[in-house]
Structure 1
Amino acid sequence: METLTSLPVSTVIILGTHLGTLPVAHWFSRYNSSEKSLWLSKHRVAALLGLATILICYQWSALQLILQWLISYTLLHTVPKHQLGKISFVILYGHVIVVNAFKFIYKYGDISLDYTGSMMLGTMRLTSLAFSIQDSTKPEEKLTELQKQRVMKQDITLEKHFCYCFSFIGILFGPFIFYEDHEKYMNKKSSEFNANNYKATLTLLQGVLALIIVIVALPHYPVEKNFAYKVGSPVSR
């Protein structure tokens, strides 16, 4: 596979998995959990698909993402709400910094797509959620218009928190989405989705074009050229 594509196997797996989510997302937008399949709610289906995605792509490194979620959920139930945003910001971003520092020291020059991108997306999501909960403790007159729209006054369940962190829609490459917008999408029924085939097709073609450019151009312009010297070799003077 690596010979045929001139791309690392890990990159091919991630890109292939990402492409595979397209038909799954189409099916998911029309999926409605009924009372007969209450266990398979949309939140659980999205979270399980996302969990399977990161396990396939990142293997054991996916444990870092699970640890990130556990840290966030623990803070949610142990830290006072009026301090939740700031403390979550420090701890979650500290976790990302430690992971990236480890990679810089022990895996310098490794430019393959890896779990740190998904970690950064997760940190943005979970930190924004923490600040939305913290804003619920402030007087309304002290909130900006954006804060008033995003403020979280109700408690978040384990299922919804897990889904927000691991939903297969955007778990690999994003985009970042606020919790409120995520819930609006998850609570929509299939009949409420407005079909716009033109925009959907155009977006899909743009993504395919970008993918083709990467596959064709990357072997001819390897990222390793950006390094002054190969890792492990003496520095030329």
Structure 2
Amino acid sequence: MKKKKSIFGKLLLALVAILAVVGIFAFYRFQTGSIEGKWSATELGDQYYKEFYKSLGSYDKEIGIEPKKMVKVPKVVMTVEDGKAEVVVKSTFDKKYLVNAIVKKFDETLKKSFSDNNVSLDDLDDETRKAFESARPKTQELEDELDKEFQKSAIQSNGEYDKATGQISFKVFSGDVNQLMHTVKVTSVNKDVPGISKNDINKNLPYELKDKKLVLKDSKESINFKKK
């Protein structure tokens, strides 16, 4: 009987030891899996900027604008709070720069037209000169038109537009963070964002955390984040 108790005791101790090791490992995984806070993905922001540049086509050259002055490189930010993650893209446009570029292009085009016909404003009668001057784009009117276009663009991306800052922001996806498994389960997506679809819902995206750097993995690619 004593021998049986001894064997049972050893098995019990072994089981407790195994559970303790598993518990310590799980605790370590949980502690090292915390990604609470704000994270930025610079490389992804650069990719979004390149796509935006391509979408301009020759439009930037026709008007004479510099894309880097027109819009800042988009910021891709992931905010994690209370186990909930949300990835948002923010793009800020310089409306004043755009307005000045449009007015400048108008003036240059008008001047060239006069020059080609050997005519100047001084050669025109008062009524005709006033007609040309009134046709010159007004700063406020141009800003209002830009606001309308940016607002439309934001709506198309299921996002928001801030007139005061010229910033368009839209959510990419939201998810639940599992600190123990080191995954982010996608719970909602913005299907209006290129490359995102409803099929991405319920996907578990593994992540790795090291030295304030976070790598969020997908079957196609990985997104590198840095702590803000």
* TM score, norm. by length of structure 2: 0.26
Higher relative contact order (CA 8 A, sep 6+): 1
* TM score, norm. by length of structure 1: 0.26
Q: Which has the higher helix share?
A: 1
Q: Return the index of the structure with the highest Cα Rg.
A: 2
